[in-house]
Structure 1
Amino acid sequence: MHMGHMDDTIDLESDEEVPFSSSQASNKPRSFDFEASRVVPHAKFTWKFIKQIRNGPLMSIYIVLIKAKINVLLPFGPLAILMHYLTGKHGWVFFFSLLGITPLAERLGYATEQLTFYTGPTLGGLLNATFGNATEMIISIYALRKGMTRVVKQSLLGSILSNMLLVLGCAFLSGGLTNRDKVQRFNKAAAAVNSGLLLMAVMCILFPAVLHFTHTELHTGESELYLSRFSSCIMLVAYASYLFFQLRSQQNTHDLVGEVPTEEERNSNVESSEEEEVPEITQLESMVWLGILTLWISLLSGYLVDAIQGASDSWNLPLSFISVIILPIVGNAAEHASAIMFAVKDKLDITLGVAIGSSTQISMFVIPFCVVVGWCMGKPMDLNFQLFETASLFITVLVVSFLLQDGTSNYFKGLMLILSYLIVAASFFVHVDITNDDA
């Protein structure tokens, strides 16, 4: 019996001699393999799907269209289009178009920033110069096609005034109140270069207006336009030279001057290297999003321009006030938030790059670009912004240049800039624009 028990044990462990034991032994592994084939491949498929979401287009859609809090305003774009075709109420169409364009402008800047991670500083600077004010350029081109040259001039003027007074003022005020225990400083050389370019832009805009109002044109009605086109070409050359200077020459500023970095600068460089950012989307995704967002902004800009005159009539507001004050405030909302954020973090050089750099781009690139585009379209777009608007720009550039000359910032300077913007806004509220749209 004992030997039989041994044989039974051996037979149970053998796969060849005992058929019953063989089937029983083979059933157990098959049952286990069947369960594994149901569970393990499913787990691998789930993990692979999760990785695809993390690294694929779905994650890109989440980052660009959902992650940012400002994206809650995205539905107002389609709503503006529906209001245009269903109700025809221009006031609501204009308002919803503004709200819909605001997050698109911010996301366009984000996509440009992501693309600069792959292109390097030189090409990245050119991309920022091109897409930094893409919203203003698109709106201006649509308005030019409609022959609304006054809207183009006033909206671009309003962007300059808003960036230099409101955006920079709020940034200085927030940064000064947050960092009250120390003096905030920025690069005086960069501020001086931007101030010089802004004064050059004022000079180019001032001469056609003076020529017009003094009635000293050689060819009445033509000399002003020819001077504007010639000055615009000179401004574009100057801006291209400025980009070359910023992206090439200024990289070796410390070497040329012979300055030795201080201990604080070394510490700040170490901190910036430790906080080095990495791109969140790929290069191809950045380029695709740039195209999509630009097309969507172009579509909404058409409805915005069509509704601006109706909004002025329905709201009983001067068209100049809407063009100079309301339109730029909403269009510069993203720049406003980023400038304040960098000022609070005591990164005033970036704040000046956002506020003053954007004003320089508009005055030296966008405005002459619109003159050249109007030239190609056969539209009489010139640099004559009329006397009231030119005086506002001239005084604003003088005030800001004076406040930036010492290279320091505090909350009182910010308050002065904000109060100055309120004066400008009140002036345009009571200002009556006697010129026509095609003047």
Structure 2
Amino acid sequence: MMKFLVMLLFMIPLCFMKNMFWLVQMLLFLMMFMFMNLTISVVNFSNLSYMFSCDIISFGLIMLSIWISVLMIMASENLFKNSFYIGFFLLNVIMLMIMLFLTFSVMNLFMFYLFFEGSLIPTLLLIIGWGYQPERIQAGMYLLFYTLFASLPLLLGIFYIFNEMNYIMIYFLKFFNSNIYLLYFCMLMAFLVKMPMYFVHLWLPKAHVEAPVSGSMILAGIMLKLGGYGLLRVMIFLQQISFNLNIIWVIISLLGGFYISLKCFCQVDIKSLIAYSSVAHMSIVISGIMTMNYWGFMGSYILMIGHGLCSSGMFCLANINYERFHSRSLFINKGLMNFMPSMSLWWFLLMSSNMAAPPSLNLMGEISLINSLVSWSWMTMISLMLISFFSAGYSLYLFSYTQHGKYYSGLYSFYTGVSREYLLLMLHWLPLNFMILKVDYSMIWV
């Protein structure tokens, strides 16, 4: 694992050399294929170095992080064309990648906390430095204070565990069983805000709307998964108390997911709609983890990977439109099928994956999660039916609203997609729909 970290560190000087924009991207591609070829043990931690290691959960999420980082650079060609601080932008992407790589691979809870919070800083810089509207400062503050306020109790919880047990290595924590209500809430709140759970989700749509395309891709693709990863890790030692209290989070998430799905139908900003749909998907992930059973853990992991690719691809589509129309309003982005018939295919493919149509990973994840939740309580069936139905509803709403209808007559210049954009969308869609052939890796890891 150390070799990949060193590789990332040695990419930093390249950011400031002339004409290195695409080289950094190609090196990240190379790193991705090297990482894919790691021999990974399904049942335990492998690739150990002094502090880093990798099990199947870390492996999938690190791979997703590298992939989304590559695609972020590919989607930000506009910055390169206008020479808009591209050296600093590349540095930001590499620093973010380092933080995420370390978050997913460290085995020490305190170090995990450190990098978990550290990944906020590059994201904040992306939103404030390359965002479009003046409200981006407020969005950055929302992001910072929501996540920091909830994360401080987590730090205290980690110190308490260290005080009790004299170790905070993740793979030893199964020997520690906590039955303390305060510790339970301290350990969970940081991750639930990061997911985000309904009630503490307000920072997410705001951050998405103000962020540049690269910021939105990393937020939807990886940052929401940090919460899920943290929950999967800390649930090991919160088992006893979880059986009593987890019902709270399941109820909030499922009802919140249903309400957010309805809220998607009220949105007029494309990015805002995609951001709210992320909250709806993550609510099922939270409730799946909270059922504390095998299907729930597997399903949440698969849906996190699937949603990372799908949501990121949808933000790319929204940005492709934004670069043409200079607006994200649904009232102006109409009748796109007249202009870009081939792009409509990609809208259709990514929307169908978003509503969990086969053969996407989202389908596999949702089937596992529905299985898990219904076996936990038959009552969850009602809200699951509603969430699934409305997720198809708002995906169709977004597709039909943008692709059909009469196009905006104030539009003068327009050009259809370039090959870079089609490649970008294909690199989102192919792994999302072809990884279902090797889904056995995700199904045997507990």
Q: In which range does the TM-score fall when normalised by the shorter chain?
A: under 0.3
Q: Looking at both structures, which has the greater relative contact order when contacts are Cα pairs under 8 Å and sequence separation is at least 6? A: 1
Max Rg structure: 1
Normalising by structure 2, report the TM-score. 0.25
